[in-house]
A and B are shown apart, each in its own frame.
Chain A
Amino acid sequence: MEIKKPKIASIPYDDFPDNDTLEQMARDMRSNGVNVVTGVLDDLINWGRSNSLWPLTFATSCCGIEFMALGAARYDMARFGFEVTRASPRQADLLLVSGTITNKMAPVLRRLYDQMADPKYVVAVGGCTISGGPFKKSYHVVNGINSIVPVDVYVPGCPPRPEAFFFGLMQLQRKIKVEKFFGGANKKEKKPEND
């Protein structure tokens, strides 16, 4: 069975600048061949997952207001299947980290991530979550949340425009579309030491 391109309905395939990377990812993942039955099931599951991502209502600062604007009428993320925001991490499968993560908040963020059920995805929104942003030199700001939780997509900006949010979220959808549910591992994560 051949690789399916990670197409999404909202943006033409060629408008994304990083198609090669994703195609390579899909090729690597399916290098040992894909069973016809499980391959079709995989596609079905990925189609469902990528179009019904439920974000956690989690925001620490400025980017959270743009996240709210995303939920409101003009930008309306319901068009792409993100509208069911959940207040409990146990019901959410997308953690949009919007806003600065401080040292005091870091264990809380980790705990929220741990409480989410698999499969779960993390999007780092805004300069602060990517590298510390304007607060890089501060004594109480985590310089990049990738040291705490694994990040799937980075959305730069201070704060990013709603359009940038959407681009990031669509990239996540495309990433989900090349995942493999039956057999094989999608992410190679280090086993936690204190388990």
Chain B
Amino acid sequence: MTEQIEIQPDRLHEEMLRLHREQQMDFLEDIIGMDWGDDGLGIVYLLESSATGERVALKTRTVNRNSPELPSVCDIWQAANFKEREVYDYFGIQFINHPDMRRLFLREDWTGYPLRKDDDPTDARNPLRMDNEMPVDTTTELRLNPDGTLSDEEKAIFDAEEYVINIGPQHPATHGVLRFRVSLEGEIIRKIDVNCGYIHRGIEKMCESLTYPQTLALSDRLDYLGAHQNRHALCLCIEQAMGLEVPQRVQYIRTIMDELQRIDSHLLFYSCLCMDLGALTAFFYGFRDREKIIDIFEETCGGRLIMNYNTIGGVQADIHPNFVRRVKEFIPYLRGIIHEYHDVFTNNIIARQRLKGVGILNRDTAISYGATGGTGRASGWSCDVRRRMPYGVYEKAGFREILYTEGDCLARYMVRMDEIMESLRIIELLIDNIPEGEWQVKAPKVVKLPVGAWYSAVEGSRGEMGVYIESRGDKYPYRLHFRSTGLPLVSVIDDICRNSKIADLIAIGGTLDYVVPDIDR
């Protein structure tokens, strides 16, 4: 259970600044908006130090439900910018001194704040609007004046002089329905305004009216290229809250499945990146080998993409009799064929010139934005959850973290290519040693969690996939929050694209490797 230290709003900013300076809490893992009913609206902050690995959870609250105002921390951590906008969108909490207080997911003309407990977002206030959403060029900042009063200040996102082009939501290179508004000077990018929410399905709100076993089904559909890992994270969190020990066999199966999923995702990353940069042959290579993994999944889990495999206390079914044999056939196959990938793309002079030295993200910026996963590791930030918060049986496999220091597109690409090999090594070590035993412990039919709050994370295909559950002792979660792996990645894009060429946006977006339904949830 996560112990949370409560801080009064008026002391929050200085306390956060102190934690950041004195205890080196430089990684803001997540900001979770909360509606505690009569206890007011509030926020839970999860912090971690990238130097010492020390973790701390804090919370703050305000009882004013009509115009809740809390201080912003986005001058300390840049990750807070998008996450506070998300909280504003869900709960209507205004952040003082936040430079861009707009909704993140929902339309500007949406009424109400859907995740508040007293708000029913399905009612008639918000019909299906078929008129086009007008682009807004201004935003507001709630500014704290030196004399202690608050005032709204209108700020321009793009001024009238700027040449702004629109990319998305229907664009093949945005990897889903993401929309960028890009301010250009010639072909140089000056600013990018990211518009999310085109695939916002309100999963977090839906989970509040589902029982715990039911919530599992939705987690697969967050980041469908990390279906096993998402579900693993949610199962870990529920099991941690229940105090349920899962058998060794389950741990082995889950770890192997997670790693197979990672290879699957990275092969798709390779295919899509290459296709975006014009290398269509490479796309076919990636998909050819990906189908082999999907065959293995299909035999055991029944699904090709959405597997629905992990359950609370185990897995849905035991591994198929062919599983071990097929995995063992696959490992030498992929090792023997991966040189084709490098021949056709990695060592191609055009590919190298489009990737090398482009979109450099340095280590401190990556930490400040909380850009975990391959992106963070390409910048030299050792952010792998498998090392920071060990789970599964990675320790038995002698897991090695892949780190690069360049932080450019080529490094982000190479991290993933190397991780394919590392995952193969992990699977190879584990596959022969799957212990005999139960694949599902007897979990109670009706899962009730005790009162409290828990956070668990796994290393997803593209970063830290975390789950935060707050329970009040019911069958249903009081609040279930998913730490999106993609939201920090997409928030970093404005920073690293500035002064690059517009064509580099495709390479940068491709190597950041975000999945839009995971950003929007």
Contacts and interface: CB of A to CB of B under 8 A. Distances in A.
Given A72-B283, A74-B291, A158-B306, A104 B128 contact: no
Nearest to B520: A102
Nearest to A63: B305
Interface string A88-111: 010000000001101111111011
Interface stretch (B168-176, B232-240, B391-399, B487-495): B168-176
A102 B225 contact: no
B130 interface: yes
A155 interface: no
Interface in B183-239: 197-203, 205-206, 209, 217-218, 221, 224-225
Contacts of A66: 304-305
A158 B302 CA distance: 12
A142 interface: yes
Interface string B104-130: 011100000010000001100010111
Contact of A65 (B114, B209, B288, B305): B305
Given A58-B170, A159-B305, A141 B287 contact: no
Interface stretch (A12-20, A25-33, A132-140, A177-185): A132-140
A107 B130 contact: yes
Contacts of A117: none
Interface-central residue, B131, B171, B290, B305, by most chain A CB under 10 Å: B305
Contacts of B306: 62, 158-159
Contact of A104 (B133, B171, B271, B283): B133
A4 B517 CA distance: 45
A60 B197 CA distance: 11
A104 B200 contact: yes
Nearest to A115: B170
Contacts of A173: none
B306 to A, nearest CB: 6
B268 interface: yes
Contacts of B290: 69
Contact of B287 (A72, A100, A137): A72
A38 interface: no
B206 A111 contact: no
Contact of A61 (B130, B171, B224, B287): B224
Nearest to B291: A74
B172 A60 contact: no
A107 B198 contact: no
Interface residues of B, number: 47
B291 A104 contact: no
Given A62-B517, A104-B107, A112-B170, A74 B288 contact: yes
B288 A73 contact: yes
A104 B221 contact: no
Contacts of B126: 103, 139
Interface in A141-195: 141-142, 147-148, 158-159, 161
A64 B202 contact: no
A137 B284 contact: no
B67 interface: no
A161 to B, nearest CB: 7
B169 A62 contact: no
Contacts of B171: 87
B107 A103 contact: yes
A135 B176 contact: no
A14 to B, nearest CB: 29
B202 A65 contact: no
B132 interface: yes
A129 interface: no
Contacts of B200: 102, 104, 140
A108 B268 CA distance: 27
Given A59-B176, A107-B129, A111-B132, A102 B170 contact: no
A68 interface: yes
Interface in B250-298: 268, 271, 283-284, 287-288, 290-291
Nearest to A162: B304
Contacts of B291: 69, 72, 74
Contact of A100 (B169, B199, B206, B283): B199
B103 to A, nearest CB: 10
Contacts of B105: 104
A161 B294 CA distance: 12
A141 B201 contact: yes
Contacts of B217: 134
A50 interface: no
Contacts of A72: 271, 283-284, 287-288, 291
Nearest to A86: B172
A105 B169 contact: yes
B106 A140 contact: yes
Nearest to B119: A139
Nearest to A137: B206
25 contacts: A57-B172, A61-B516, A62-B305, A65-B224, A69-B291, A72-B287, A72-B288, A73-B284, A73-B287, A87-B172, A99-B199, A102-B197, A102-B198, A103-B129, A104-B197, A107-B132, A108-B198, A110-B130, A134-B217, A135-B206, A138-B203, A139-B205, A141-B201, A147-B128, A158-B306
Interface of A: 57-62, 64-66, 68-69, 72-74, 87, 89, 99-100, 102-108, 110-112, 134-135, 137-142, 147-148, 158-159, 161
Given A139-B202, A140-B114, 7 more contacts: A57-B172, A60-B198, A60-B517, A89-B170, A103-B128, A105-B198, A138-B201
| A-B pairs with lowest CB-CB distance, top 7 | A72-B287, A139-B121, A62-B224, A61-B517, A138-B202, A105-B198, A135-B201
